[in-house]
Structures are given as C-alpha cells and as structure tokens.
Amino acid sequence: MNSEKLILCMKDISKRFPGVQALDKVSFELKQGEVHALIGENGSGKSTLMKTLIGLYHADAGQIFLKGEEVFFRNPADALKHRISMIHQEICLVPTLSVAENIWLGREEKFTQGGIINKKQRDKLTQNLLHELNMDLDPNTIVKSISVANMQLVEIARAISCEAEIIIMDEPTSALAEKEIEVLYKIVNKLKNSGVTIVFISHKLEEIFNICDRVTILRDGKYIGTKLCSEIDLEHLVHMIVGYELSELFPKEQIEIGDVILEVKGISDGKVLNDVSFNLRKGEILGVWGLMGAGRTEIMRTIFGIDKAKSKTGGTILLHGKRVRINSPSHAIKVGFGMVTEDRLHTGIFANMSVLKNITLCKLSSFMKFGLLSKKIEMEQGTNAAKNYNVKAGSMNQPIGSLSGGNQQKVILARWLMLKPDILILDEPTRGIDVGSKSEIHKQIGQLVKEGISIILVSSEMPEVLGISDRILVIREGRVAAEYDTKIATKEQLIKSAFGV
Ligand SMILES: Nc1ncnc2c1ncn2[C@@H]1O[C@H](COP(=O)(O)OP(=O)(O)O)[C@@H](O)[C@H]1O
Ligand SMILES: [Mg+2]
C-alpha cells in the first residue's frame, strides 16, 4: 500500500428493496492505493453497496465521505466526476459501436472542434490506452466482434480513460479464461502502482489472496469484518463468509468402495491426449486435477463421445469389464454415463424452460400413463427431486434462467439423480458458485455416490478435490502424471506433479 490515507469511507449504509434488507448499516473503508476485496455469498449485498457508492442506488440511511468530505452522488456520472468508476458484473458496452466509440461514449467533446469529432486524435489516444493494457486491438473494431475478455478490458480502458482514482471491478474474472485472468491481474497491479484504489469483488478466494491487500466480508447484507489478506487464512475467511467451519464445507461421507467398473486404457487423440489410462471403482469419487489446458476436459469429452478418439491411437474403454465404443453423447448415456459440462449456460440448462422441465426432461417417458403424460406424477417427482437437492426457487414453473448459478447447478444434479447413470462426470461443477451453494453441491455429490453412482470430478480447485475425492489423478500435458490416495495426498505433491517437478 502506498499510504495509509483513507480515501473513502462509507458509514452505516442501509438499503432496502421490496421484501429484502439488502444492506443493513454496512460500513466500508478504502485506503488510497490498496486493492480491497469485497466478498460474500450471492445476494450478500456486494453489488448493491458499490451501486450505492456510485449513485446508481440511493441509500436509505448512512453517509459517504470522499477524502474526508461528505458527498452525495445523484448518479454514476456524478460519481465519475469525482473519479469513481465501476465496471459492472454485466458487460455494459454498445455492441454495434467501435472500441474507441465505446470508450469515449458521452465524452466526445474531448476531441470535438467546431462540432466535428477529430477521429484521428481519438483513435491515437485510444491506441495508447489499449497499448498500456497490452491489448492488440484496432480502436475501430466493432465491439460485438471481440471476445468477452477483450470487452472486459475495454471497460477497464474506459475506467482508466476517465482518470478514475477509485475503480470498482464487480466479479471481473468470472467470464475469463486463465490466461486472460493473468492479464487482468497484471493490470490491477499496474493500476495499483500508479496510485489507483481498487475494489475487487470476487468469489475466487485464492485469487483474493493473490492480488488483494485487504478484504471486507459481507453476509446477508451485514458487515462481518475487514482483514489484511496477509493475516487471514482460507479457513478463517470461509468461516467469515458462511458463518460455519471449513470442515463442514467439504462433508465427506464414508462409503464402501467396490470393484472397478470403468477402465480407460491408452486414450490418445493425436492432439492433446497422450496415452491416458485410469480406472474408476463403484462408489468412488475420482478427483481429476491439473493446470488449465492440461487436457482434463478433453479426456472427459472423449469418454463421453463428444470428441472422438482417433481410431489408430484411440485406446479402449471397458465398462463393467466389457469393451464399449462410444461414438456420441446419447450413446454414452445409453451405456450408463452422465456428464455435467463445464459450460452450464450453453450445454447444461434450457434457460427458458421451467425448473420442473429441466429436471424431468430426460425422463418424461416414465411419467406416461396409458400413453399420456401424467403431469401430476411429473410434478410430484420433480418437486421431490428439487426438494432433495435444496433447490431454492419461487415455483417449479419459473424459468431456470432466473435462478442463481448455484441453484441451476443443483437442478442439473437433481436431473442426473433421476436418471441414475452408473458413472457421472462432473466438469467444474462449482465454478463461479458462491461458497454456501458450493457446500450444498458437495453434499449432493455425496448423495449421488450413496445412490450407487460413481463420480469423476474434474476441478481446478485444489481444496475441493482434496476435500471430497477418494483418489486424485493429476493431469499434465495430456497424460496422467500422478495418482494419489486423498488420505495421504498433500497440496505440495499435487502442485509438483502438475508442474512436473
Ligand atoms: N434492483 C434490485 N431490486 C430488488 N432487489 C434487489 C435489487 N438489487 C439487488 N437486490 C437484492 O438485494 C440483495 C443483495 O443483492 P446484491 O447486492 O446483488 O448481492 P451480491 O452482489 O452480493 O450478490 C439480494 O437479495 C438481491 O436480490
Ligand atoms: Mg453481485
């Protein structure tokens, strides 16, 4: 931190929405030049607190002091004049305008002489700005044609161009891939070194330890505390977020592990995968861990028949001791596999369909009576499954797209519990999900195993893999680099295997 000077002080902020006290006397302080994490479960009030700061919402009570003086911002433009800028959770760019136009939107007068915009000057300035962010992007590119990561960087460029002294980033990394996240971290560091104060809202606790100086925790609209990141450990942090201990976060049920039911032998795809072999036992949770790009998802896609193994180098898959040649996902399902993909939004849910249909869809035939669909049975069983999985929805008929990520994932698991595959592959089942729902999903994975389903759990999160698997495979460069019994595996071993040291 550059100095200990307080730049911002929010005091006893309260904000009520119909039916919910979103903020209840929350206080929040920023020191000049720090990166300050703001964390808490979904709905704990993080976005609302920051929207209250920039004048998008107006607090019912409380005060805001900027550099010691009380301020009241009528709207975000007003906040921007005081050099506070927020990058929202949702991308807020105009897709049909160019990168440069988006960055300078509403501030064109800066380049306007005699009523004409000096585009050359604008583009030059934009170019410099993008260069600063190490972005190789033409200022005239239309925004809708660039990647989500670049859109996010354009938003950051806009914040920088306003010469913001305080930049709020609301879950900036949730839509980014590992490489892009690295770029963002570098930018955050650069901004910090130039004296900018940053509020960093995130679900990823490891990331907070990496780049933040201090962390403030909210729970249910209440202020829980502020800590130095160097002085708090993961366990303590989780405790503050959820209000209970980490050991309760990864509840592992002891289940008897049976015979080998799946043998994967020598799978190669001529690209990423190179002679991948492993097996899976009945009732087992097999963790599959590795660095980004190690080939974990590719292995699962090949087994599930989404990608085809090359015929020559393909390898074999034995299910219950019998060879199977899986050539499509529907074939995989028929022989007893299930898969929850990493990309929930595009391949996991039918966003416009109801919660009920999302659960029962694949099993409609079993609700048929005399050739007719029994809506009553469907509703009964669907409601039961949702209840079992603690899905929080107002009604079974509401579109699943309106639920939180954690609840959507619970619906998907409820669907698979109905279908009861022998083997369920879960690819990053808790990515981007808040800590409380994560814990529930871990419990539900335990329930699936109890029902006799064996699980392959692909995850980037080491605590998750160590917390709930029985055995762990470490994947490196398309191969199984190491295998550990979770009881004796350590974090250091996993990391060493992943890096090949
Ligand atoms: N514009 C709004 N209208 C009504 N309720 C809202 C609105 N914005 C947020 N809320 C509610 O306020 C609470 C806090 O939400 P939010 O600040 O978005 O949480 P977070 O960002 O921590 O996930 C939630 O219960 C949410 O449903
Ligand atoms: Mg939010």
SS (H, E, C) 205-236: HHHHHHHCCEEEEEECCEEEEEEEHHHCCHHH
Q: If we measure between CA atoms, which residue out of 223, 226, 201 comes closest to residue 12?
A: 223
Least confident of 54-68, 154-168, 358-372: 358-372
Q: If we measure between CA atoms, which residue out of 195, 193, 202, 212 comes closest to residue 87?
A: 202
Ramachandran angles phi, psi of 326, nearest 5°: -90, 125
Does the beta carbon of 406 sit less than 6 angstroms from any atom of ligand 1?
Answer: no
Cα(71) to centroid(ligand 2), Å: 24
- Give the position of tokens 């295998």: 483
Does the beta carbon of 46 sit less than 6 angstroms from any atom of ligand 1?
Answer: yes
Express each pLDDT in 104-124 by its tens digit: 988 888 888 888 888 899 999
Tokens read off for 309: 């193994």
> Which ligand sits nearest to residue 39's alpha carbon?
1
Cβ atoms of 224 and 218 closer than 8 Å: yes
Strands 61-66, 6-17: parallel, antiparallel or unpaired by DSSP?
antiparallel
Q: If we measure between CA atoms, which residue out of 469, 463, 449 comes closest to residue 491?
A: 463
Cα(175) to centroid(ligand 2), Å: 14
Q: What DSSP character marks residue 164?
A: -
* Mean pLDDT of the chain, nearest integer: 88
Stated pTM of the model:
0.60
* Ligand 1: residue whose CA is nearest its atom 7: 17
Strands 285-290, 454-458: parallel, antiparallel or unpaired by DSSP?
parallel
* Ligand 1: residue whose CA is nearest its atom 24: 43
* Residue 51 Cα: closest atom of ligand 1: 17
> Which ligand sits nearest to residue 170's alpha carbon?
2
- Give the position of tokens 């809202």: 201
Cα(345) to centroid(ligand 2), Å: 18
- Give the position of tokens 């416009």: 352
Residues 6+ apart with CB under 8 A from 254: none
Does the beta carbon of 20 sit less than 6 angstroms from any atom of ligand 1?
Answer: yes
Q: Which pLDDT score, from 0 to 100, does residue 377 have?
A: 85
* Residue 44 Cα: closest atom of ligand 1: 22
* Residue 434 Cα: closest atom of ligand 1: 23
Domains of the chain, earliest start first: 6-248 (3.40.50.300), 258-336+421-501 (3.40.50.300)
Cα(228) to centroid(ligand 2), Å: 22
Cβ atoms of 29 and 10 closer than 8 Å: yes
Mean pLDDT value across residues 339-343: 84
Does the beta carbon of 436 sit less than 6 angstroms from any atom of ligand 1?
Answer: no
Q: Which pLDDT score, from 0 to 100, does residue 244 have?
A: 60
- For ligand 2, a single-atom ion, the residues with CB < 5 A are 47
Q: Which pLDDT score, from 0 to 100, does residue 226 have?
A: 97
Does the beta carbon of 402 sit less than 6 angstroms from any atom of ligand 1?
Answer: no
Cα(475) to centroid(ligand 2), Å: 33
Q: pLDDT tier at 405 (50, 70, 90 boundaries)?
A: confident
Q: Which pLDDT score, from 0 to 100, does residue 248 have?
A: 58
Which CB contacts under 8 angstroms, 24+ apart, belong to 331-338?
A: 331/305, 332/303, 332/304, 332/305, 333/419, 333/421, 336/421, 336/422, 336/423, 337/303, 337/304, 337/421, 337/422, 337/423, 337/424, 337/425, 338/416, 338/419, 338/421, 338/423, 338/424, 338/425, 338/453
Mean pLDDT value across residues 198-223: 91
Cα(47) to centroid(ligand 1), Å: 7
Ramachandran angles phi, psi of 59, nearest 5°: -70, 150
Does the beta carbon of 172 sit less than 6 angstroms from any atom of ligand 1?
Answer: no
What is the spatial distance between Cα 358 and Cα 410, in angstroms, rounded to a whole number?
11
DSSP H helical ranges for 45-195: 46-53, 76-81, 99-103, 119-132, 148-161, 178-193
* Ligand 1: residue whose CA is nearest its atom 9: 48
Q: If we measure between CA atoms, which residue out of 88, 90, 96 comes closest to residue 50?
A: 88
What percentage of the chain reaches a pLDDT higher than 70? 95
* Ligand 1: residue whose CA is nearest its atom 20: 43
pLDDT for 42 beyond 80: no
Q: Which pLDDT score, from 0 to 100, does residue 496 have?
A: 81
Q: Give, for ligand 1, the residue of 14, 20, 171 to mutate: max count of ligand atoms closer than 8 Å to Cβ.
A: 20
How far, in Å, are 187, 286, 367, 453 from residue 418 at the CA level? 46, 21, 12, 11
Tokens read off for 443: 């419990």
Amino acid at 327: N
Type and span of the H or E element at 497: helix 491-499
Mean pLDDT value across residues 73-84: 94
pLDDT for 3 beyond 60: no
Cβ atoms of 264 and 317 closer than 8 Å: yes
Q: Give, for ligand 1, the residue of 16, 42, 48 to mutate: max count of ligand atoms closer than 8 Å to Cβ.
A: 48
Which CB contacts under 8 angstroms, 24+ apart, belong to 46-51?
A: 46/170, 46/201, 46/218, 47/88, 47/89, 47/170, 47/201, 48/15, 48/22, 48/23, 48/221, 49/10, 49/13, 49/23, 49/218, 50/86, 50/168, 50/170, 50/199, 50/201, 51/86
Q: If we measure between CA atoms, which residue out of 278, 280, 284 comes closest to residue 449?
A: 284
Least confident of 88-97, 249-258, 283-292, 464-473: 249-258
Mean pLDDT value across residues 191-197: 94
Q: Residue 160, Cα to own-chain centre: how many angstroms?
A: 25
